[in-house]
Each structure stands twice: as C-alpha cells, then as structure tokens.
Structure 1
Amino acid sequence: MPLLYEPGFEALYDDLAREVLSGTSLTTAQPGSITRAICSALAKVTDRAYSHFNVGMAKAFVERSSGKFLDMWGIVLGTPRQEPRPARATAESQICKFFVETGTFGDINGAANISVTKGTILSTKPNEGGTRFTVAITTILPSSSSTTYIPVISEGSGTRNNLAARSLIYHNFTNYLDNEGRIQA
C-alpha cells in the first residue's frame, strides 16, 4: 500500500535510463553497459527507500490515529476494528492467580484441596464492586500448593476491563475451612 509515490523498480529504472540517455552523451542502456548498471543500482536503492518511507509513514499515522481515523486505516490495511469483547485469561497464561501468603491451601482448608467453582466473582473493589471477572471453569487449588493460576473472563467488554497487575484482589469465594475448622461461607 503506497503512501508516497512508489512506481516500483521497473518504472524507476525506465525513468532513470530515459533521463540519462536524453540528458547526456550516453547512447545505450543495454545489459552490460555502464548506464544500465548505474540506473539499475539507483532504481534499487530508490525503490527500497520508498518502501522504508511508506512503512514509516504508515506507522506514524497509525500510532497517532484514533476513532474514525483509526477505522479508516483498518479499512485501508484490510484489518477492520474488532468489536469489543470480554477479556479472557487462561490458567496457562499465568495472569490470574489464587495464593496464600504463608503455608499452603491445605493449611487453610483442613489439609484438603479447595475447589473454586465456575462463576466465582473476582473484582477490583470490595463487595463485588468495580471491574468484575468470573472464574471460567471450576479450578482445584491443591492442598500442597501455595499458588494456582486460574482461567477468568471479564463480565464486561472493551477497554474498561483492562486492568493493572494485582487489581483483582477481592472475591466472593469463602467455601473452605479456616485454621480452626470453621467453614467460611
């Protein structure tokens, strides 16, 4: 996608050879001639420069575009804007984790695994407030572990669900035993 004049190597070579032959005493641009070698080298370098300029221009315009202007670039480049969708994180991506600061999950649950059920709400503010994510699939927190990553999905769509590290610090999950054997519910 040319942003600047970009005729390509052949057109550049033809223009250079025509200018040299019409403006100098040189009379041929046949293969093996000095005229052809010089025009060919200049055409290659110029063609490469146009390509670099075009990439730089595209990057500059896209980086500073927003709204309908960014949408226009998406159409020009064949990559239209995606519709907002919920944010997702898999356990394998190691983005969202349950952990205990000391000991293991078994230490807070009578030596048993803890099951965090699908739909458990994680949020950025107390009492399920702020930005909310839900646990995507039921996940087991092994009794011998102190950290387990879990899959989550945001309840909303779009950029308002982008979060900083350590933001999802509240949850409505309490179905486990405490250190004294009392069920937390």
Structure 2
Amino acid sequence: MPERAKVAVLISGSGTNMAALLYASRAADCPYEIVLVASNNPEAGGLRLAEAEGVPTFALPHKGMARLDHDMAMDAAIRASGAQFVALAGYMRILTPEFVGGWQGRMVNIHPSLLPKYKGLHTHDRAIEAGDSHGGCTVHLVTAELDDGPILGQTPVAIVPGDTADSLAARVLIAEHQLYSRCLARLVSRP
C-alpha cells in the first residue's frame, strides 16, 4: 500500500463529517489518514471525539483576532501537522484568499445543497420553499468565492411530503457522510 495522504480537518461544531472521514480512513484500503482536527471553537464537540480517537487537535478562538492572523495561525498548525490536504467539515468561517490560495486544489468542502443552487446558509429551507424534488449535498474544491469551486461529487436526496428543514437535513447528513470520504479518497489518489 503506498503511503497514505495526510489530511487536516477543520471543524466548528459536533464534527459528524469529520467523524465520517475519520472512520472511513480506518479501512485498510483508504488512501488518506487524518493527522489533525483543528477548530476555531475550543468547545467544539468534534475535538473531544478526535482526542478520544487519538487524533491530534488544535483549537484557536477567532474572537479578537484579525481574520488573516487567525487564518495564518490555523495554516501554521496545519502545515506543522504534515497535512497535504485540508477538508472543511462544518467550519463556519469565511476563509481569506491568502489561506485558500495556499491550499489551491488541495482543500475541499462539503455543502448541504446541490450546488450551484443555494450557496450559503438555510439550504434546506430554500430547497423546500422552491418546491424542489430533491435537496442534497456537494463536495467541491475550495476557491476564494464562497461555495463555488469545482464540484467533485454530489448526492441528490429526495424531498418527501411534509419535510421540514430539520427532517431533510437529517437525511442529507447521511448522504454527506457517504459522499465526503469517497470524494476525498478520489482527490488524494489523483496522479
């Protein structure tokens, strides 16, 4: 088995997508490993899970810091971990072009809509209000423009009668947990 690609995951909350990536990485044939879980929120539940699973963590609150200074401190921690790729998993920060530029083609995000539809927040409410037949999720490369980079994969999720944003979000999350690890594995395996 060739050496596995090293990935840092950035989270702000419970870290369910981080957990999905981490547990997928435990498969013998997975081409990546998680070498760092970092957060702008020291209280993020995902940090506790990463620690319990033996994955190094880094937390730096962004309050009172200039955005670029915070991004550069996060970048330094990521680079110190040896990571070659960055996966955003519910990281609720708009990243500076300087940070994004440093990881061009090597930073991915998962977004809970079928991009280019519904960039930003409240994606499930917007899909239901529009009368769409499906919501879903998208894994994409990160560019300086929000939720806009090249798409690596998508999973449509049917909207059923009576769906609320919460009920749809719960099903989309299942799809996210399946899609993200597959797209990340493909990305790190590219020649």
TM-score, normalised with respect to structure 2: 0.21
TM-score, normalised with respect to structure 1: 0.22
State the structure with more CA Rg: 1
